[in-house]
């Protein structure tokens, strides 16, 4: 099996590569070769045959070159994140929408070829006002450019799959927490920052009130969603190829309480409250709770508790040591 990962040098892409290297298979089939595409080089692996390719997804010729390898499974993870897509209107549409369309067009142009395409969408495709819990039947009416770009890509995935030009599965990821590494330009970044930085002995800034509620999943759950989607029998999806993934609905205050139970008051004291009206306004339009029955019926599984998410981060990213 040949696997193409668009966005392979990113956080989720890197974890997916490590998972494929550890398993050597994807849903029971041996992985012969992985092509990782991103704007930066992907680190080499010891046991996995991997090619790192750099370039611009919005370049149609680049997409054609990637598809010339005829990968059996394509994971499309690359995107300009929410805050940056909102700040740079042109860049967001060029990468998130045009890049996706060029990738799909390159697949169509390849003769006798219908790969499984796993597309990472987002809960940002939904917009307020919300019901108590959002099901897959709730309409998509995003309130950000990022959410709009993801929603359009979802429609393209549905239509291309309906016409049997590819075999697509779209997974709407919860906000991934705790994200390792440095803060990025995602507007949701503070959800991870208020856990990651204090655990590492650093100060974190909280720009919203503690009653803000959001939908979360761990990095490992995100990888599990991807690999499960790659082997899903898509006849069960019918014409609705996009699914909201399981997650945990918690408030910022509940996040902090979980951090206190795991790491103590001294770590929690490293969180500094600095209200930011712009971020608060953006977050107010985000969904808070979901009812992902379709995904659960199809075998997708999420995290047990926010405490388990924190403990996973400590074990995987901090070597079990709290600073």
- For residues 195 and 184, what is the distance between their CA atoms, to the nearest angstrom? 15
Count of other CB atoms within 10 angstroms of residue 49: 12
93 is catalytic: no
Q: Which of 117, 77, 78 is nearest to 95 (CA)?
A: 78
Classify strands 33-38 and 29-30 as parallel, antiparallel or unpaired. unpaired
In DSSP notation, 250-311 reads EEHHHHHHHHHHHH-HHHHTTEEE---HHHHHHHHTS---B--HHHHHTT----S-HHHHHH
Q: Which residue is catalytic, options 146, 191, 225, 290?
A: 146
Q: What is the dihedral of CA 28, 158, 214, 197, to 10 degrees?
A: 60
- Give catalytic residues, as residue numbers: 146
């Amino acid at each position: 099996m040949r696997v193409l990962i668009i966005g392979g040098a990113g956080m989720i892409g890197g974890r997916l590569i490590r998972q494929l290297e550890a398993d050597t298979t994807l849903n029971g089939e041996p992985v012969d070769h992985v092509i990782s595409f991103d704007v930066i080089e992907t680190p080499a692996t010891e046991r996995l045959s991997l090619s790192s390719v750099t370039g611009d997804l919005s370049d149609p010729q680049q997409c054609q070159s990637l598809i010339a390898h005829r990968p059996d499974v394509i994971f499309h993870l690359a995107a300009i994140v929410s805050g940056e897509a909102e700040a740079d209107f042109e860049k967001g549409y060029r990468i998130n929408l045009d890049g996706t369309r060029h990738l799909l067009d390159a697949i169509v142009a390849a003769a006798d070829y219908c790969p499984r395409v796993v597309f990472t969408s987002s809960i940002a495709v939904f917009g307020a006002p919300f019901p108590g819990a959002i099901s897959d039947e709730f309409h998509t009416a995003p309130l950000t450019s990022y959410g709009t770009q993801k929603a359009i890509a979802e429609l393209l995935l549905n239509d291309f799959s309906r016409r049997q030009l590819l075999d697509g599965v779209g997974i709407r990821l919860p906000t991934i927490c705790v994200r390792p590494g440095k803060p990025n330009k995602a507007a949701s970044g503070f959800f991870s920052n208020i856990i990651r930085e204090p655990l590492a002995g650093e100060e974190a800034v909280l720009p919203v009130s503690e009653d803000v509620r959001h939908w979360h999943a761990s990095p490992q759950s995100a990888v599990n969603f991807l690999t499960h989607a790659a082997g899903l029998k898509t006849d069960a999806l019918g014409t609705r190829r996009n699914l909201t993934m399981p997650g945990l609905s918690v408030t910022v205050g509940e996040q902090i309480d979980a951090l206190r139970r795991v790491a103590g008051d001294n770590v929690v004291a490293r969180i500094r409250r600095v209200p930011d009206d712009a971020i608060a306004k953006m977050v107010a339009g985000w969904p808070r709770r979901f009812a992902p029955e379709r995904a659960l019926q199809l075998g997708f599984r999420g995290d047990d508790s926010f405490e388990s998410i924190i403990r996973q981060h400590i074990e995987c990213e901090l070597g079990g040591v709290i600073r």
